Amino acid sequence: MFNDFINILNSNDFLATKKNLLLAVSGGVDSMVLCHLMQRTDFQIGVAHVDHNTRQGESKKDADFVKECCSTYNIPFHLASFQHDPTTSANFQKSAREFRYHFFQSLGYDLILTAHHKDDNIETVLYNFLSGRSINLIPERVNNIYRPLISFSKNQILAYAKENNIDYREDLSNQSSDYDRNHIRNKIIPIIKSQFPNAEGKILGLAQRMSEDQKTLKKIATDLIQPFVKNKRIEISKETTRNYPQLLRYTILDYGFNPSQSDNIISSIETVGARFLSHTHELIIDRDLLIIEPLVVQAEPKEVIVEMDNLPVTVGYGRYNLKFKLVQHLGIEDKNNVYVSKSSIVEKLIISTWQFGDEFYPFGMNGKKQSLKKYFTNMKMDRLTKQRIPIIRHKDQIVWICGYRMDERYSRNTEKGPYLHISLSLK
């Protein structure tokens, strides 16, 4: 199996540019085999595990087991704890899955590897079919999520674990048929195989053919809908979407949105501000556009403090980096670079997002005050940008709406330095 695994890795050219890989490891046989296989390669790997706080403390033992394995082999280990809140979502599986993928993405690795295999694909095709979604396969790769075991069967994985004496944890909840997927795995698939011995191959073959058809439809959809892509941001015209509503699902499929979500997006297309999440992206409906951007971990806490005694410093805020440094001479100002007189800053600076009631004195408006709400409206700024754009504050005043407009009170008002240079860039 190892030689076949290496051949699969070598056949994927995109891996050559990936330096740090994150393995999603539950402690079960599938992910422990993936971890063992990857340890035998030259890739730098880290491991992420989520304790779902289930099974009367058994999930904590899973976390301790994975942590101990990583310690033994000197592998970086990342742990998160998930507490299900039934008041926000009654679907534990869905909430836990969204939490896991958001956690994995937040760690900043080049690629996330999961241990999905061929048997998972069969379950997924049947589950999607029975729930009326599709007969889509689990893709080998979507964006930065990669599944290198997808062509291997469960029996191959178990045989490799036995041959290499790999320890793993048994999740006894998998034997229960309370969850839909477990019911398909434990009840429905055995019945199908008993009557149709070649069913697995035929199901996967049909799904593969449908996948090829889907690629053609995606090409047609892209040509007709013409999404505009810039800096990982995707903009889709609402007018074009209305003309080809059924093709939207193929346009946004690569961003993790399933056909059911596509239908909901179409039905909500007139609801400005409606927001949809996939594992990797978020979509917001704006006035004239559908806007899609990668999920990012927002700045925590909501306010970030910049002490003037600690310069120079670079601060990460959401998807942006902000660099603060003192300079003696002025440079060129543009939308991403501003200069503030050091003498005008007597306290710490605070970075935050906009708040209801915010007002400022826009540079160039001769001392006229304006609310940020009105300014954003005049700029025709979409809701996603408004929610994310950093705003620098001094005391109770706005200094700079980053990337847009300075407050006139903080524009350089002396010809002598030092000056505080603030620059904005995307991560």
Distance CA 234, CA 291 (A): 6
Triad 37, 41, 45: Cα angle to 5°: 85
Q: Which two three-digit tokens encode residue 227? A: 């999404």
Spatial separation of the C-alpha atoms in residues 189 and 208, rounded to whole Å: 19
Of 140-154, 168-182, 313-327, 336-350, the least confident: 168-182
Equal CATH topology for 2-195 and 201-294: no
> Which strands form 20-24's sheet, in the order they lie side by side?
77-81, 44-51, 20-24, 111-113, 145-146, 141-142
Q: What is the mean pLDDT of the chain?
A: 85
Average pLDDT of 175-179? 65
Q: Report residue 89's pLDDT band, with 50, 70 and 90 as the boundaries.
A: low
User: What's the confidence (pLDDT) of residue 39?
Assistant: 92
Q: Please say if the pLDDT value at position 11 is more than 90.
A: no
Among 143, 139, 137, 75, smallest CA distance to 112 is for 143
Q: What pLDDT score does 174 carry? A: 65
Question: pLDDT tens digits for 193-216?
Answer: 899 988 888 988 998 898 888 889
Query: Where residue 413 falls among pLDDT bands split at 50, 70, 90?
Result: low
Kindly state the average pLDDT of the residues 407-424.
80
In this predicted model, which residue has the larger pLDDT, 283 or 367? 283
Rounded Cα distance, 348 and 144, in Å: 38
2-195 CATH pick, 3.20.20.150, 3.40.50.620, 3.10.20.30, 3.30.930.10? 3.40.50.620
- Can you give the residue ranges of every domain in the chain? 2-195, 201-294, 304-426
The whole-number pLDDT of residue 148 equals 94
pLDDT at 299: 43
- Topology (CATH) of 201-294: Chorismate Mutase Domain, subunit A (1.20.59)
Summarised one tens digit per residue, pLDDT across range 381-392 is 777 778 788 999
* pLDDT higher than 90, residue 113: yes
Gap between the Cα atoms of 24 and 82, Å rounded? 15
Distance of alpha carbon 424 from alpha carbon 334, whole angstroms: 10
Q: What are phi and psi of 169, to 5 degrees?
A: -100, 140
